Amino acid sequence: MAKEKKFVESITSMDVDFAKWYTDIVKKAELADYASVRGCMVIRPYGYAIWENIQKILDQMFKDTGHENVYMPMFIPESLLQKEADHVKGFAPEVAWVTHGGNDLLSERLCVRPTSETLFCDHYAKIIQSYNDLPKLYNQWCSVVRWEKTTRPFLRSSEFLWQEGHTAHATEADAKEETLRMLNIYATFCEETLAIPVIKGKKTEKEKFAGASETYTIESLMHDGKALQCGTSHNFGDGFAKAFNIQYTDKTGKLAYVHQTSWGMSTRLIGALIMVHGDDNGLVLPPAIAPIQLMIIPIAQHKEGVIEKATELKNMLSKLARVKIDTSDKMAGWKFSEYEMKGVPLRLEVGPKDIEKNQVVLVRRDTREKIFVPMSELETKVPELLADIQKSLLEKARNLQNSKTFNAKTVEELKELLDKTLGFVNAPWCGELACEEKVKEVAGASSRCMPFDQSDDADVCLCCGKPAKANVIWGRAY
Which segments of the chain have a pLDDT < 70? 1-9, 457-458
Are the C-beta atoms of residues 115 and 164 closer than 8 Å to each other? yes
Q: Residue 192 corresponds to which amino acid?
A: E
Return all residues near 291 (Cβ < 8 A) that are at least 6 apart.
46, 49, 50, 52, 53, 322
Q: Which three-class secondary structure state does DSSP give residue 75?
A: strand
DSSP string, 336-351: HHHHHHTT-SEEEEE-
Handedness of CA 148, 152, 155, 159 (dihedral sign): positive
How many angstroms separate the CA atoms of 372 and 352, rounded?
14
Distances (CA, A) of 467 to 244, 415, 428, 429, 431: 40, 21, 9, 8, 9
Distances (CA, A) of 187 to 183, 397, 419: 6, 14, 29
Cα of first residue to Cα of last residue in the chain, in angstroms, is 37
Return all residues near 325 (Cβ < 8 A) that are at least 6 apart.
295, 296, 297, 298, 310, 311, 314
- Give the model's pLDDT for residue 3: 44
DSSP string, 109-174: EEEEPS--HHHHHHHHHHH--BGGG--EEEEEEEEEE---SS-BTTTB-SEEEEEEEEEEESSHHH
Say how many C-beta atoms besides its own lie within 10 A of residue 261's C-beta. Answer: 28
- Give the model's pLDDT for residue 8: 53
DSSP string, 192-221: HTS----EEEE--TTTSPTT-SEEEEEEEE
pTM over 0.75: yes
Q: How far is CA 119 from the centre of its chain?
A: 24
> Could you give the angle at which helices 172-192 and 45-64 cross, rounded to 10 degrees?
140
Say how many C-beta atoms besides its own lie within 10 A of residue 31's C-beta. Answer: 28
> Could you give the angle at which helices 18-28 and 268-277 cross, rounded to 10 degrees?
110
Are the C-beta atoms of residues 259 and 168 closer than 8 Å to each other? yes
Q: How far is CA 251 from the centre of its chain?
A: 40
Handedness of CA 379, 385, 386, 387 (dihedral sign): positive
In 283-432, alpha helices (H) = 306-317, 332-341, 352-357, 378-403, 411-420
Say how many C-beta atoms besides its own lie within 10 A of residue 72's C-beta. Answer: 18
- Give the model's pLDDT for residue 164: 98
Say how many C-beta atoms besides its own lie within 10 A of residue 463's C-beta. Answer: 22
- Give the model's pLDDT for residue 133: 98
